[in-house]
């Protein structure tokens, strides 16, 4: 299911190239993040009263690594995207900024794409966002990727502190994610460089508004700096991947201990009832 983008035609033609130059990071992240659940049917035409927005937990910053990480540790994010109603939101991990540039032979200009991916502490994909721009063009795109299950007709919003929210629309969905964009200009970009963070908002399949606050501590350094060194990025990602594996192991151990305690409790209760039963 798709919706047309609000992007200018030139930026729309650059989308394929942007996906190509960021493919390496996407593949690496896919090795860690499990496949999201399939999208649920859209909400009815006459929805009930709006539900309150899901709250977010601050992220656990990634440990400082190579310079090419682009200050990802300072740009930690919080997210409640994967938390069902009534459950605590997952702690989030912000991957290093990934910046890629390539020359487009058709328009004879350089296209740069930079993005940051947010994962839960156990590797679940929460969101991906960034900037896609054509050199010497005042207009650019703020891009976003979310797990399947979003309410497409509602689109999404990008909110900077003290600024009017920008409404974006989804471009395309595949079997794992839905991607969208919204046109921004250099004025908005300058505000991003000065802002401590940005909030991504979208409606899930039940119509509940989910807010994902994302820190921008490393954004300016990544934007003004050179393209990402792939080795440095891979090294930094490996550290985060190790943290995720450790978190998964700890979570599994806790579940096993809880299951064992429950089993022992049931066995003890059964023995007590058997002793209390009248002898025949």
Q: Write down the pLDDT at residue 9.
A: 47
Is 3 part of a structural domain of the chain?
no
Is 2 part of a structural domain of the chain?
no
The CATH number for 169's domain is 2.60.40.1880
Q: What range does the domain containing 93 cover?
A: 9-39+50-271
User: d(Cα 223, Cα 107) in Å, to the nearest integer?
Assistant: 22
Q: Are 91 and 108 in contact (CB under 8 A)?
A: no
Q: Write down the pLDDT at residue 219.
A: 94
DSSP assignments along 106-142, one per residue: TTTEEEEEEEEEEEETTS-EEEEEEEEEETT-SEEEE
198-228 tens-digit pLDDT: 999 999 999 999 999 999 989 999 999 999 9
Is 220 part of a structural domain of the chain?
yes
Is 280 part of a structural domain of the chain?
no
Q: Write down the pLDDT at residue 260.
A: 84
Which residue positions in the chain have pLDDT lower than 70? Answer: 1-90, 279-280
The model carries a pTM of: 0.65
61-76 tens-digit pLDDT: 444 333 333 333 333 3
User: d(Cα 212, Cα 181) in Å, to the nearest integer?
Assistant: 16
Number of structural domains found in the chain: 1
Is 278 part of a structural domain of the chain?
no
User: Which residues have CB under 8 Å from 233's CB, separation 6+?
Assistant: 25, 68, 69, 96, 98
Is 44 part of a structural domain of the chain?
no
User: Which class for 217: exposed (0-12), middle (13-18), buried (19 or more C-beta within 10 A)?
Assistant: middle
Is 277 part of a structural domain of the chain?
no
Q: Write down the pLDDT at residue 16.
A: 39
Q: Are 7 and 141 in contact (CB under 8 A)?
A: yes
Q: Write down the pLDDT at residue 183.
A: 96
Q: Write down the pLDDT at residue 101.
A: 95
Is 255 part of a structural domain of the chain?
yes
């Amino acid at each position: 299911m798709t919706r047309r983008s609000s992007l200018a035609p030139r930026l729309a033609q650059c989308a394929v190239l942007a996906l190509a130059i960021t493919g390496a990071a996407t593949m690496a992240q896919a090795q860690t993040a499990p496949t999201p659940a399939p999208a649920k049917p859209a909400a009815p035409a006459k929805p009930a009263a709006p539900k309150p927005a899901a709250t977010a937990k601050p992220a656990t910053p990634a440990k400082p690594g190579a310079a090419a990480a682009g200050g990802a540790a300072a740009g930690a994010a919080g997210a409640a995207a994967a938390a069902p109603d009534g459950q605590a939101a997952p702690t989030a991990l912000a991957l290093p900024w990934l910046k890629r540039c390539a020359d487009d032979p058709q328009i004879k200009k350089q296209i740069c794409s930079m993005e940051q991916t947010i994962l839960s502490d156990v590797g679940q994909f929460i969101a991906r966002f960034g900037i896609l721009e054509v050199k010497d063009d005042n207009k650019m795109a703020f891009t976003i990727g979310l797990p399947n299950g979003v309410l497409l007709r509602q689109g999404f919003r990008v909110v900077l502190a003290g600024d009017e929210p920008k409404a974006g629309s989804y471009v395309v969905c595949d079997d794992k994610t839905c991607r969208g964009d919204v046109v921004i200009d250099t004025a908005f970009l300058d505000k991003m460089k000065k802002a401590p963070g940005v909030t991504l908002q979208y409606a899930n399949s039940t119509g509940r508004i989910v807010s994902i606050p994302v820190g921008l501590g490393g954004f300016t350094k990544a934007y003004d700096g050179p393209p990402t060194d792939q080795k440095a990025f891979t090294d930094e990602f490996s550290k985060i991947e190790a943290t995720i594996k450790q978190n998964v192991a700890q979570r599994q151990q806790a579940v096993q201990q809880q299951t064992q305690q429950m089993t022992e409790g049931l066995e003890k209760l059964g023995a007590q009832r058997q002793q209390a039963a009248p002898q025949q």
